[in-house]
Amino acid sequence: MEIISEEGFYFYVLYCYDQTLYGGFTTNLRQRIEAHNKGKGAKYTRVKKRQPLKLIYAEKWANKSLAMSAEYHFKKLNRCKKEYYLARNGVPTFDKDVYIIKDYSQHLICHL
Protein backbone atom coordinates (compact mmCIF):
# COMPACT_ATOMS: atom_id res chain seq x y z
CA MET A 1 0.00 0.00 0.00
CA GLU A 2 1.43 3.36 -1.02
CA ILE A 3 1.36 5.94 1.78
CA ILE A 4 1.06 9.64 1.08
CA SER A 5 4.38 11.48 1.28
CA GLU A 6 3.00 15.03 1.52
CA GLU A 7 4.37 16.93 4.51
CA GLY A 8 1.95 18.31 7.09
CA PHE A 9 0.83 17.90 10.67
CA TYR A 10 -0.77 14.48 11.05
CA PHE A 11 -2.50 12.51 13.76
CA TYR A 12 -2.53 8.87 12.65
CA VAL A 13 -3.75 5.48 13.82
CA LEU A 14 -1.97 2.18 13.24
CA TYR A 15 -3.51 -1.27 13.48
CA CYS A 16 -0.97 -3.59 15.05
CA TYR A 17 -0.49 -7.28 14.28
CA ASP A 18 -1.60 -8.14 17.85
CA GLN A 19 -4.90 -6.35 17.06
CA THR A 20 -4.17 -3.29 19.20
CA LEU A 21 -4.46 0.31 18.02
CA TYR A 22 -1.70 2.91 18.24
CA GLY A 23 -2.19 6.65 17.76
CA GLY A 24 0.64 9.05 17.01
CA PHE A 25 1.74 12.39 15.57
CA THR A 26 4.07 13.06 12.63
CA THR A 27 4.92 15.57 9.92
CA ASN A 28 5.64 12.84 7.34
CA LEU A 29 3.34 9.80 7.31
CA ARG A 30 5.36 7.66 4.92
CA GLN A 31 8.64 8.06 6.82
CA ARG A 32 7.00 7.56 10.20
CA ILE A 33 5.18 4.34 9.20
CA GLU A 34 8.42 2.99 7.70
CA ALA A 35 10.24 3.80 10.97
CA HIS A 36 7.56 2.03 13.02
CA ASN A 37 7.76 -1.09 10.83
CA LYS A 38 11.56 -1.14 11.06
CA GLY A 39 11.33 -1.17 14.85
CA LYS A 40 12.54 2.43 15.14
CA GLY A 41 9.24 4.04 16.06
CA ALA A 42 7.66 4.47 19.46
CA LYS A 43 8.50 2.04 22.25
CA TYR A 44 4.98 0.57 22.01
CA THR A 45 5.36 -0.34 18.33
CA ARG A 46 8.92 -1.72 18.67
CA VAL A 47 7.59 -4.89 20.30
CA LYS A 48 7.92 -7.69 17.71
CA LYS A 49 4.47 -9.18 18.38
CA ARG A 50 2.91 -5.88 17.27
CA GLN A 51 4.62 -5.83 13.86
CA PRO A 52 3.84 -5.42 11.05
CA LEU A 53 1.83 -2.26 11.61
CA LYS A 54 -0.78 -0.97 9.20
CA LEU A 55 -1.90 2.64 8.74
CA ILE A 56 -5.70 2.69 8.92
CA TYR A 57 -6.53 6.35 9.57
CA ALA A 58 -4.99 9.81 9.56
CA GLU A 59 -6.06 13.42 10.00
CA LYS A 60 -4.11 16.33 8.53
CA TRP A 61 -4.25 19.47 10.67
CA ALA A 62 -3.28 23.11 10.11
CA ASN A 63 -0.67 23.12 12.88
CA LYS A 64 1.23 20.90 15.29
CA SER A 65 -0.89 21.87 18.28
CA LEU A 66 -4.16 20.74 16.68
CA ALA A 67 -2.67 17.44 15.45
CA MET A 68 -1.18 16.67 18.86
CA SER A 69 -4.47 17.55 20.53
CA ALA A 70 -6.26 15.05 18.28
CA GLU A 71 -3.67 12.41 19.23
CA TYR A 72 -4.04 13.19 22.94
CA HIS A 73 -7.82 12.92 22.89
CA PHE A 74 -7.75 9.67 20.89
CA LYS A 75 -5.30 8.07 23.32
CA LYS A 76 -7.63 8.89 26.24
CA LEU A 77 -10.45 6.80 24.73
CA ASN A 78 -11.01 3.17 25.66
CA ARG A 79 -10.88 0.52 22.91
CA CYS A 80 -14.64 0.54 22.31
CA LYS A 81 -14.72 4.33 21.90
CA LYS A 82 -11.65 4.26 19.63
CA GLU A 83 -13.40 1.76 17.36
CA TYR A 84 -16.54 3.92 17.36
CA TYR A 85 -14.49 7.03 16.50
CA LEU A 86 -12.77 5.23 13.61
CA ALA A 87 -16.05 3.77 12.28
CA ARG A 88 -17.71 7.20 12.44
CA ASN A 89 -14.80 8.53 10.37
CA GLY A 90 -15.01 5.90 7.63
CA VAL A 91 -12.91 3.00 8.97
CA PRO A 92 -15.46 0.20 9.48
CA THR A 93 -12.94 -2.67 9.60
CA PHE A 94 -9.20 -3.05 10.07
CA ASP A 95 -8.61 -5.99 7.72
CA LYS A 96 -8.47 -4.05 4.44
CA ASP A 97 -5.31 -2.63 2.89
CA VAL A 98 -6.73 0.89 2.71
CA TYR A 99 -6.53 3.95 4.91
CA ILE A 100 -8.62 7.07 5.31
CA ILE A 101 -7.17 10.60 5.49
CA LYS A 102 -9.34 13.50 6.65
CA ASP A 103 -7.95 16.92 5.77
CA TYR A 104 -8.73 19.53 8.42
CA SER A 105 -5.74 21.70 7.51
CA GLN A 106 -7.89 24.34 5.78
CA HIS A 107 -10.38 24.68 8.63
CA LEU A 108 -10.20 27.81 10.73
CA ILE A 109 -10.44 27.44 14.48
CA CYS A 110 -11.73 30.50 16.32
CA HIS A 111 -11.57 30.86 20.08
CA LEU A 112 -14.00 33.38 21.58
Residue 45: give its domain's CATH number.
3.40.1440.10
pLDDT in tens, 38-88: 999 899 999 999 999 999 999 999 999 999 999 999 999 999 999 999 999
The H or E element that residue 110 is part of is none
Instruction: Say what the pLDDT of residue 98 is.
Output: 83
Residue 95: is its pLDDT beyond 70? yes
Report the chain's mean pLDDT, rounded to a whole number: 90
Asked, for residue 35, whether it belongs to a domain, the answer is yes
Residue 106: is its pLDDT beyond 90? no
Burial label for 108, CB within 10 Å (0-12, 13-18, 19+), is: exposed
Q: How confident is the model at residue 111 (pLDDT cuts 50, 70, 90)?
A: low
Tell me the average pLDDT across 4-28: 93
Asked, for residue 110, whether it belongs to a domain, the answer is no
Instruction: Say what the pLDDT of residue 110 is.
Output: 53
Rounded to 5 degrees, φ, ψ at 37 are -70, -15
Instruction: Say what the pLDDT of residue 66 is.
Output: 95
Instruction: Say what the pLDDT of residue 6 is.
Output: 82
Q: How confident is the model at residue 93 (pLDDT cuts 50, 70, 90)?
A: confident
Beta strands in the chain (DSSP E): 9-16, 21-26, 53-61, 100-103
For residue 38, the enclosing domain spans: 9-103
Please tell me the pTM assigned to this model. Answer: 0.90
Number of domains in the chain: 1
Asked, for residue 111, whether it belongs to a domain, the answer is no
